[in-house]
Amino acid sequence: MRFSDLHLCAPLRDLERTREMIEKSSELGYNQIGVPFPAGTKQDIVEQVRHVSEDFDLDFVTRLDLFPKSPGELLGDLRRFRRSFEIVSVLCGSKPVARQAAKDRRVDLLCFRGLDRRRRFFDWAEAELASKSSAALEIDLVQVLGAEGFVRAGFLSSLRREVALAKNYRVPVVFSSGAKDVLLLRKPQDYASLTFLFDVDLSAALQALSSNPMTIVERNRKKQSPSYVAPGIRLVKRKEENR
């Protein structure tokens, strides 16, 4: 089975630590990693990280995390940056942003970072919109590792509800590490075991760590290829130029 971690928060300013994290991901058994870059990152930084990933035989995926304050800002950001990144995730800080992100086909991943139940907007309406637009729900497992006590209990309860909703509405779920440090990285099987805490069965957990993220990346790569025309239509062969 091939595994993917679409949210490896490598410190881009420190290439040595970035290298360390990427090496660790490879050691732990991942085949694909997604590294978030700020919009407008210089291409040479992206290439440096790509080279490091290739050194460890990892499939490298460029990712953009958007934190829009309003739906309008989200639309503007998507218009400007969508084509430059293979994966676009939206951190939904408010309900209008969450709704707009869920219905926009250009958004790949919906993230809800807060541990507080009231700041997580993945309800049935959000799930229904996401199921129609093929956006996936992303859960960073570092949040489960970081929380403790009552906070973790509340957070696990929210995750249980969100995962059940996603299953009902057939919204794909993606589990990512979200790790900023080597010691917060775990093997894919260990992450799958951790999801037992919010009632995800092992096969669904492994799918959320392998085929679900890989399908999204593959779909976007096809869309970004020059032969792509529209959904279901691609250029097979160009007419030879007249001599």
CA 2, distance to chain mean position in Å, is 16
Site string for another protein, 77-116 (x = CB under 8 A): ----------------------------------------
Question: How many Cα atoms within 13 Å fall on the side-chain side of residue 148?
Answer: 1
Report CA Rg, the chain. 18
Residue 75 as a binder of another protein (CB under 8 A): the answer is: no
Site string for another protein, 16-55 (x = CB under 8 A): ------------x---------------------------
Sign of the alpha-carbon torsion through 222, 224, 227, 231: positive
Residue 204 as a binder of another protein (CB under 8 A): the answer is: no
Residue 201: is it exposed, middle or buried by C-beta count within 10 angstroms (0-12/13-18/19+)?
exposed
Cα distance between residue 124 and residue 109, in whole Å: 17
Least Å from the CB of residue 197 to another protein:
5
Least Å from the CB of residue 121 to another protein:
26
Between 15 and 184, name the residue whose CB sits nearer to another protein. Answer: 184
Cα distance between residue 135 and residue 138, in whole Å: 9
Least Å from the CB of residue 52 to another protein:
21
The residue written with tokens 């691609």 in the block is 234
* Contacts of another protein in 137-176 (CB under 8 A): 144-146, 148-149
Between 150 and 242, name the residue whose CB sits nearer to another protein. Answer: 150
Residue type for position 172: P
Least Å from the CB of residue 239 to another protein:
55
Least Å from the CB of residue 208 to another protein:
15
Q: How far separated are the first and last CA of the chain, in Å rounded?
A: 49
Site string for another protein, 174-193 (x = CB under 8 A): -------xxxxxxx-xxx-x
Strands 233-234 and 228-230: antiparallel
* Residue 13 burial (CB count, 10 A): 8
Binding site for another protein (CB under 8 A): 28, 144-146, 148-149, 181-187, 189-191, 193-194, 196-197, 202
